[in-house]
Structure formats: structure tokens, C-alpha cells
Structure 1
Amino acid sequence: MDLSYEGLLALIESFSDNQLLVMLAITIGTLILEDAATVTAALLASEDVLPHSAALLSLYVGILFGDLGLYGLGAAAARWPRARRWVSEHRIMRGREFLEGSLFVTLFGARCIPGMRLPTYTAAGFVGIPFPRFALYAGALAAGWSTGLYTIIAILGETVLNELGPWRWGVAAFVIALAIVLPRVTEKIIKSRSQKAAAPTDTP
């Protein structure tokens, strides 16, 4: 395989003959690493491999499918007797009341803070938040978040990366790697600080 700049460019251009395949890859990618898939989609569109509208549509479908899937997992667990025994009815009612009163804010926070989307979206399904309301809020937040990140990367791709010539793919790879690593590092920092804050302090 030719790993030179020209070879990589030719490989990417070969996929442009089947844009549905590229769109499917982006959609599946959001289920694995959402931010990295968003960055990749924006960079591919900046290289005219895919229209921006098609790239965004692929992101929306994948992200919303993933969000609704997390809700569905929680809802399915709520119908499993063993899972119901792990959580008391009182705690379920308290969780439902809390989410019903601040659903949008809670989902927004989960969208912004790395590592919080899985437990929050699953909990929404488990405690019985109405599906239409959850889907509306989750869809709006997914569209806003992904569109914002996509737009920033697309602008950078069209104005900065194109000026870098053969170096642009190296920079693009670095940006994608950063999108993969940074949320994980942030999540670990948040967990570490939370554990330190929750740890008992020694009193003389």
C-alpha cells in the first residue's frame, strides 16, 4: 500500500465514488467515537470527498441513533426484574422527578461532560422519562453540539489545512487523535477531582 501523501489522497478519492459508503462509515463511527467521527466528517467534506449536507446528515443519524439506543437500554433494563431489585422504587421515583424537572439542563450537561452521556441517557430510560420528550431534547442537543464542532473543524479545514500542502494530512490526523484523547483525559480529571472531593478529610 502506498502510504505517501499522493497514495493517501488517491485512497480517499477512491471512496468518493461511493458516497453512501462514506456516509455509512461516518454514521457507524459516531457509535464508536462521536467527536472523532465529527472531526473526520468535517475534514472529509473540506476535501470535497463528501458534501457538507451529506456529512452532517450522517452525523445526525448516527448520534441520534446512539442516544436513543442508550435510552432504550435503560428502558429495557427497567423491565428486567433483577435490575428493578437493584434500585428501590423510591429512588426511581426521585430520579424521575428530578429528570422531569430539569431534563434539558441535565441532558445538556451530560452532552458537554465526557463520560456522562451513557449513565444519564440510560437513567432517563430506566426511570421512565417519556420517550417523545427525551427524543426531542436529545435530538436538539445532538444537532447543536455536532453542528457547532463540525462547523469549527470545517472552517479550519478549508482555511488552514489547505495551506499546509503535504503536511495537512499529518495535521488532520493529529486533530482526530486529539478529539479521541482529550475527552478521555478530561473524564479522568473530573473523576479524580470528584473522588478527592468525596474522600473524608482527617481531623485532628
Structure 2
Amino acid sequence: MSSWVLFAIIFFSPFIQEDGAVIFAATASLAGVAPTAMIIAVILAGLVGSDAWKYWMGRLARRYDWAHRFAEKPGVSIAGDLIRKEFYQTMLTARFVPGTRIPTYIAAGFFKAYYPKYILTLTFTAAVYVAILFGLFHSVGMIAGEKAKIWLPIIAVVVLALYILVRWLNHVNKHQGPMTPMTDEFDHPMPGMPGFEGTPLVERSSKKEEE
């Protein structure tokens, strides 16, 4: 395989599956099939490129009625609070918690996060993820050889599961921050959402204010 073909595969693979793409890139780096610096640069470009456009899916959704109906679902306003008030923590959490990236990136657009900040944060979280995985492969992989490609992902899953458990237990008690339980108690009207003035969530809030 030529270097250009390898780089093309590394760049486009995050558009299909990000975690597998990073593991493949780290494995290629460990095998020495191309300069590690180039592989890191290409995988970072692929990660950012595969996620940069998801923001605009959220911005585009604001124009449609179904998005207004979606905004009435439990927990959506809480997700908006996380994007507005704890943007960096939420983006970093999404990078390491499987299944949360796409919803978080779309929510960033839906709740109109500042796009340059979104791209910079996206790049930073991707760089942290790549640095950790490449560091593990190169430090431990040199000792364990090919076996590292088998048990490193297992260790990563175990560590991730413990991390999720700790954050969940912490925020179940405090009711704040990323991974807050999505309950009606914390739902509220969302400012700056055109056409939302007549939704049940807003009406319920208005009644409480009158009382």
C-alpha cells in the first residue's frame, strides 16, 4: 500500500467510525508503515472534518416544525444548558463517551454555539484522544507487541466504564453538569428559539410566573 493510499484511508475512515479509525491509525504508526507525525496530522484532520459539518445539521434543523416538536421532549432544554454553560466539559465528555458525540455536535448547532469555538474545542478534544491512544500504543505496544492491539481496547473500555459510573453517581446526587438525569424538574423554556412561544413548555413556565 502506498503512503497516499494509506493517508486517504486514515483521513476518510473517521467518517465511518471514529474510534476504529484512531485505533487503525495508531496501529499503522506502531507498525512503522509511515511517519507517526504525518499519521497523527491526517487522523486529526479526518476527525475534525468528519464532525465539523454535524454542527450545521443542528443549525439547519431550527428552521423546521419537527425541530420545534423535538424541543418539547424531556431533557432537551437541559442539553441546551450544557451547551451554553458547560460547553467545554460537554464536548470533552462527548469525545470519550460512546454514543454521545453525534447528538452533542448536532446540539451545538441547534443551540447556536459559536462555531469557531466549536471547531477549536473539537480539535482540542480530538488531539487529546489521539494523544492518549497513540501514547498507549507506543509505550505499551513496544513491550507487548501485537498483543497490545487486542487488550488495549479492552482496558480502554474498562477505564471508560469506570469513568462513566463515577460521573453518573456524582451528578445524580448534585443534579448538575454533564450527564445530568433528564427530568421534568429541570426543563424550562429555551430563549432565542423562534416559533417556540406557544409550546407547552413555555405556557407551563408562564403559569408558574403568574402564580
* Segments ≥4 residues shifted beyond 6 Å: 91-94
Partners of 2:121 and 2:55 in 1: how far apart? 12
Q: What SS does the corresponding residue of 1:50 show, helix, strand or coil?
A: coil
Q: Which residue of 1 aligns with 2:199?
A: none
- For the 8 Å contact 1:43–1:157, the answer to whether it is kept is no
Q: Which structure dedicates a bigger proportion of its chain to helix? A: 1
Structure 2 residue aligned with 1:138, among 116, 122, 129? Answer: 122
Change (3 A) 1:33 1:177: farther
Structure 1 residues 87 and 130 mapped into 2: Cα distance closer, same or farther (>3 Å)? same
State the 1:173 CA deviation: 5.5
Contiguous gaps of at least 5 residues in structure 2: 173-180, 182-211
Structure-1-length-normalised TM-score: 0.67
Contact preservation (8 Å) 2:56, 2:106: yes
Equivalent pairs counted in the alignment come to 165
Q: Residue deviations 1:134-162, cap 9 Å, x none?
A: 1111111111111221121123333431x
User: What is the RMSD computed on CA atoms of the aligned residues?
Assistant: 3.2
What letter corresponds to residue 151 of structure 1 in structure 2? G
> Distance between the aligned counterparts of 1:59 and 1:20, measured in 2?
13
Q: What is the distance in 1 between the residues matched to 2:38 and 2:63?
A: 37
Task: Give the equivalent residue in structure 2 for 1:12.
Answer: none
Greater relative contact order: 1 or 2 (C-alpha under 8 angstroms, separation 6 or more)? 1
**8 Å contact from structure 1 (residues 67, 121) kept in 2:** yes
Specify the alignment match of 1:106 in structure 2. Answer: 90
Q: 1:149 is matched by which residue type in structure 2?
A: L
Q: Quote the residue 1:174 is aligned against.
A: 150
Q: CA 1:173 to 1:102, structure 2 compared with 1: closer, same or farther past 3 Å?
A: closer
Q: SS at 2:67's partner residue? A: helix
Matched to 1:27, the amino acid is F
Pairing 1:11-50 to 2, within 5 Å after superposition: 15=1, 18-50=2-34
Report the CA distance between 1:103 and its aligned residue.
0.6
Amino acid at match of 1:174: I
Distance of aligned partners of 1:178 and 1:19 in 2 relative to their CA distance in 1, 3 Å threshold? farther
Name stretches of at least 5 consecutive residues in structure 1 with no aligned partner. 1-14, 162-167, 199-204
Take 1:106 and 1:145, find their aligned partners in 2: how far apart are those partners?
A: 15
